[in-house]
């Protein structure tokens, strides 16, 4: 991690959240005046709508470490046993939160942050997108083009939503309108965050729904289904790569 970025995030975490929380607790006599900070964590949650600050023993995290002695599963590990902290992640109790976590390790602060929201929800959306993808492939193999296009649209929309769910946007989380999601994904693509063709295939599949599902025309027959399958696979893989 770039040291300048790390230092800026550390200082912002202290100034914007941690020190105000400590001051508030001290004023309420919930912290002693000589309180020593050893660890802190800021959780960003769309579900709650407000940020939560944890101090010292309240911090909940899983750290990947390099240790300098043999340990069996379940053994306690102490600071002296650790050479390096490689990564810090949230536990399963906070599956959809973004976070900043600070740990004082051997007199130096270790900082970890992940500003992607809704990781559990993203995985759920990707899993369902894969189901629609398999259905689309099966429909194409059996030359059922109308359900192929319906399943392809569902796959594309779920993959796009999985990408957008990383953002702190309640409208993405709670909205049920196709056009809103399509427009947000289009805007995200215009900023270079996803391939433009992924946005285009989502928009095109939405346009073809009236033709394929509602028998409004035979426009869907002019498309190239194998190319659509290829793009859908790309969209799923891209969404999945965002949470690894």
**pLDDT of 85 above 90:** yes
What's the pLDDT tens digit per position in 48-83?
A: 888 999 999 999 999 999 999 999 988 999 999 999
Last residue of some domain: 114, 137, 169? 114
Residues 87 and 146 in one domain: no
What is the structure's pLDDT at 103?
97
149 shares a domain with 170: yes
User: Using one digit for the tens of pLDDT, what is the confidence trace for 105-151?
Assistant: 999 999 999 999 999 999 999 999 999 999 999 999 999 999 999 99
Phi/psi at 83 (5° precision): -90, -35
Identify the CATH number of the domain in which residue 215 sits.
1.20.120.330
pLDDT over threshold 90, residue 102: yes
Are 198 and 93 within one domain? Answer: no
- Clarify whether residues 70 and 145 are in a common domain: no
pLDDT at 242: 87
pLDDT value for 175: 84
For residue range 190-208, list pLDDT tens digits in order.
999 999 999 999 999 999 9
Range of the domain at 151: 119-241
pLDDT at res. 1: 59
The Cα 137–Cα 229 span in angstroms is 7
Mean per-residue pLDDT of the chain:
95
């Amino acid at each position: 991690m770039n040291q300048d970025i790390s230092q800026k995030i550390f200082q912002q975490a202290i100034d914007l959240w941690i020190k105000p929380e400590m001051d508030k607790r001290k004023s309420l006599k919930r912290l002693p005046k000589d309180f020593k900070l050893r660890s802190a964590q800021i959780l960003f949650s769309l579900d709650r709508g407000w940020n939560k600050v944890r101090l010292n023993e309240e911090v909940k995290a899983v750290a990947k470490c390099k240790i300098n002695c043999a340990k069996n599963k379940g053994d306690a590990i102490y600071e002296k046993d650790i050479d390096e902290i490689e990564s810090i992640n949230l536990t399963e109790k906070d599956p959809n939160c973004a976070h900043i976590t600070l740990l004082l390790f051997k007199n130096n602060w270790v900082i970890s942050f992940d500003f992607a929201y809704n990781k559990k929800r993203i995985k759920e959306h990707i899993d369902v997108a894969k189901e629609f993808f398999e259905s689309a492939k099966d429909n194409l193999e059996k030359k059922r083009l109308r359900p192929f296009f319906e399943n392809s649209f569902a796959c594309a929309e779920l993959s796009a939503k999985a990408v957008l769910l990383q953002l702190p946007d309640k409208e993405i989380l709670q909205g049920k309108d196709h056009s809103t999601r399509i427009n947000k994904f289009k805007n995200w693509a215009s900023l270079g965050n996803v391939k433009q063709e992924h946005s285009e295939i989502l928009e095109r599949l939405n346009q073809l729904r009236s033709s394929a599902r509602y028998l409004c025309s035979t426009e869907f027959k002019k498309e190239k289904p194998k190319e659509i399958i290829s793009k859908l696979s790309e969209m799923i893989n891209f969404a999945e790569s965002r949470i690894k």
